[in-house]
Structures are given as C-alpha cells and as structure tokens.
Amino acid sequence: MILVTGASGALGSATLDHLHALGAEAVGGTRMPNHAALRRIDFDDANTLHFDGVDTLVMISAGAAEDDVVIARHGRTLQAAERDGVRHIVYTSLTAAGDHLGFALAHRWTEQRIRRGSIPWTILRNGLYAELIADLLSPRDGTITAAFGPHGVAPVVRDDLAMAAAKVATNPLPHTGNIYDLVGAKTITAAHVAQALCVDFQPTSLEHLRASFDGAGMLPFQPGMLVSIHSAIAGGFLEETGTDLEALLERKPMNALDFIHQTLQGTGPIT
Ligand SMILES: NC(=O)c1ccc[n+]([C@@H]2O[C@H](COP(=O)([O-])OP(=O)(O)OC[C@H]3O[C@@H](n4cnc5c(N)ncnc54)[C@H](OP(=O)(O)O)[C@@H]3O)[C@@H](O)[C@H]2O)c1
C-alpha cells in the first residue's frame, strides 16, 4: 500500500488522484481528514505517525515554517516510518539549483537523514512551481513587477510533479537510490511573461521588494523565503533546464509559459 502525506495540499492531493487513476492501492494522510478514506497524519504530532501496512511512503515536504520546525517534523516522520517497517520512501525535495533559496536547508537536511536511514529511497528534487511563478509575476495595475533581473527560471507545472511522484511510487524498485532533478524544459523570464500577457514589465530591486513586505502581516520566515526566490533568480541560479521530468513522465512536460499565461490571462489589460 502507498501512503501519500499532505493529502489536502495541492501536490499531495494531485499525487493521490494520479495514483488512483493508475489503479494503485493508495491512501492519503492529512492533518485534518474530512472523510473515512483519509488517515490523520500530522508531522507535528508523533501520536498520528503510524505507518503499519505502508509499503511506500510518499512524503510531501511540509516546508512552510522555520528550518528547525520543518527539520523536527521530517525527522520524527522518518523515525516513525523506520519503526513501522516502511519499505520505500519517495521524498519531494527541492531542485539542486535551489540551494540558495531560503527553504533549501530543511530539504537538504531531510535528504541527508533519508540517505543515512535504513529505508530504500527515491528523492524527487522538484523545481519551482509554475503556479508559484505565476503568483509572483501576477500583474498589478497592468504591470508585472519583479526583482528577477534579466535572468529566468525553469518552472514546472505542479501536476507534472504529482504525476512523476505517482509513477515512481507505483514502481519504486528501479528508482531506488536515485535523485531526480525535476526542473522545467525551458527557461522563462519575467519579460517573457509580460510579453505573453501584453502587459508592462517593471524590474525592481530587492530593496524595494523587501520594503513592500512591510506591514503585510507575514509570518517571520516568509519575507526571507520570498526575497530568496527573487535573489536566487536574479543571481542566475535557477536558469538551468533538465530532462529528468520528461524521462519519468515518458512525455513532454507541460509548457510552463503557456500555463502561466493561461493562469494570468485576465489579470492585466490585453491589448
Ligand atoms: N517547488 C515549489 O515551488 C514549492 C512551492 C511551495 C511549496 N513547496 C513545498 O512543497 C510542499 C507541497 O506543496 P503544495 O503546493 O502541495 O503546498 P500546499 O498546497 O500549500 O500544501 C501544504 C502542504 O504541507 C502539508 N503540511 C503542513 N504542515 C504539515 C504537518 N504538520 N504535517 C504534515 N503535513 C503538513 C500539508 O498537509 P495537510 O494539509 O494535508 O495536512 C500540505 O500538503 C509544500 O509543503 C512545500 O514544502 C514547493
């Protein structure tokens, strides 16, 4: 049996849907199960971390928190998986190019913990979601503002990452000990998105970006995480494309620029 954690989240729920569509015996784990087919799994509550009967654990990172919180979450979950005899772990991590991002450390800690642990594993190093890039480049008053500099990023549509996770989880053995870098096949810039939407692009500085977060009511870790996405792109660190996703999917990944265009259409004046 396959268990997918984070089953209420966007990636976890899509992975579970793909698993069911592939005919796999799969259940979802989530902090707040709202129907009988879901199990309660909360990485913050050791009492919920029971994996008896689970052959393959698809561990969706729970990364929206400070490093120490995420590390503690992932550490206790892996400990419980080892105790309960899980046979394979598929962990959704972060692209190697994302090492400079503010949320990289907890991912790399988790990878190291998995590699030093006793359960055979596969690590899916997910690129930045096209959904996230669409959100960051959403035009306001007909203008896209970003501190990406002239550089780009190779984003991935989240549903493709979910399909890749589902494919690996249904047949994990050939993927044992493999790390896949699941970045997009094309680099896109803020200017490309502005051109596709027929809106203006106004480059901004990291200083202005930071100032725009003042009084926005963010949690303490959020401004640093967000700024790190812009600064890593502006540093040219996230431009590299890859082919691992296409190989896992056995088809071309969805076109991220088309996806972002469709997502944002209607948010700016179309000329
Ligand atoms: N590559 C990227 O661009 C990118 C962008 C954003 C986030 N991420 C990472 O990818 C993960 C999945 O992305 P998403 O789009 O599905 O995020 P999402 O829709 O915001 O969902 C958040 C996920 O975190 C899980 N979670 C939070 N606290 C948890 C806890 N205490 N125990 C267990 N699970 C917990 C949630 O599980 P339940 O609500 O089901 O319990 C849910 O699956 C995120 O958590 C984050 O680590 C990656």
Angle CA 184–171–54, to nearest 5: 110
**For atom 20 of ligand 1, which residue has the closest CA?**
9
**For atom 43 of ligand 1, which residue has the closest CA?**
6
CA distance 76 to 224: 26
Distance of CA 235 to the CA centre of its chain: 21
Ligand 1 pocket mutation pick from 15, 27, 31 by most atoms within 8 angstroms of CB: 31
Contacts of 191 (CB under 8 A, 6+ apart): 150, 201
Distance of CA 61 to the CA centre of its chain: 8
For residue 130, report the distance from its CA to the centre of ligand 1, in Å.
15
Encode pLDDT of 88-110 as tens digits: 999 999 999 999 999 999 999 99
Mean confidence (pLDDT) of the chain: 96
Q: Would you say residue 268 has pLDDT above 60?
A: no
Measured from the CB, is residue 9 less than 6 Å from ligand 1?
Answer: yes
Q: Is 48 helix (H, G, I), strand (E, B) or coil?
A: helix
Higher pLDDT, 267 or 95: 95
Q: Does residue 271 fall inside a structural domain?
A: no
Q: Does residue 115 fall inside a structural domain?
A: yes
Ligand 1 pocket mutation pick from 4, 5, 11, 49 by most atoms within 8 angstroms of CB: 11
Q: Would you say residue 10 has pLDDT above 80?
A: yes
| Number of structural domains found in the chain | 1
Q: Would you say residue 266 has pLDDT above 70?
A: no
Closest ligand 1 atom number to CA of residue 127: 1
Measured from the CB, is residue 12 less than 6 Å from ligand 1?
Answer: yes
Encode pLDDT of 52-94 as tens digits: 999 999 999 999 999 999 999 999 999 999 999 999 999 999 9
Measured from the CB, is residue 65 less than 6 Å from ligand 1?
Answer: no
Q: Does residue 127 fall inside a structural domain?
A: yes
> Helix-strand-coil percent breakdown of the chain, rounded to 5?
45, 20, 40
**For atom 7 of ligand 1, which residue has the closest CA?**
63
Encode pLDDT of 242-264 as tens digits: 999 999 999 999 999 999 999 99
Q: Would you say residue 270 has pLDDT above 60?
A: no
The pLDDT score that the predictor gives to residue 271 is 36
Encode pLDDT of 189-230 as tens digits: 999 999 999 999 999 999 999 999 998 899 999 999 999 999
The pLDDT score that the predictor gives to residue 62 is 98
Q: Does residue 189 fall inside a structural domain?
A: yes
Please give the residue range of the domain that contains residue 31.
Answer: 2-266
CA atoms within a 13 Å half-sphere pointing along the CA-CB vector of 248: 32
Measured from the CB, is residue 222 less than 6 Å from ligand 1?
Answer: no
Instruction: State the amino acid at position 85 in one-letter form.
Output: G
CA distance 138 to 194: 9
Q: Is 118 helix (H, G, I), strand (E, B) or coil?
A: coil
pLDDT band at 267 (very low <50, low <70, confident <90, very high): low
Closest ligand 1 atom number to CA of residue 45: 31
Instruction: State the amino acid at position 30 in one-letter form.
Output: T
Nearest partner of 55 among 103, 102, 2, judged by Cα: 2
CATH of the domain at 66: 3.40.50.720
Residue 112 burial class via C-beta count within 10 angstroms: exposed 0-12, middle 13-18, buried 19 and up: exposed
pLDDT band at 265 (very low <50, low <70, confident <90, very high): confident
**172 contacts 56 by C-beta, under 8 angstroms:** yes
The pLDDT score that the predictor gives to residue 115 is 98
CA distances from 22 to 163, 165, 170 (A): 10, 12, 8
Nearest partner of 159 among 17, 56, 265, 25, judged by Cα: 17
The pLDDT score that the predictor gives to residue 269 is 42
Encode pLDDT of 21-50 as tens digits: 999 999 999 999 998 889 999 999 999 999
**For atom 1 of ligand 1, which residue has the closest CA?**
128
For residue 127, report the distance from its CA to the centre of ligand 1, in Å.
14
Measured from the CB, is residue 43 less than 6 Å from ligand 1?
Answer: yes
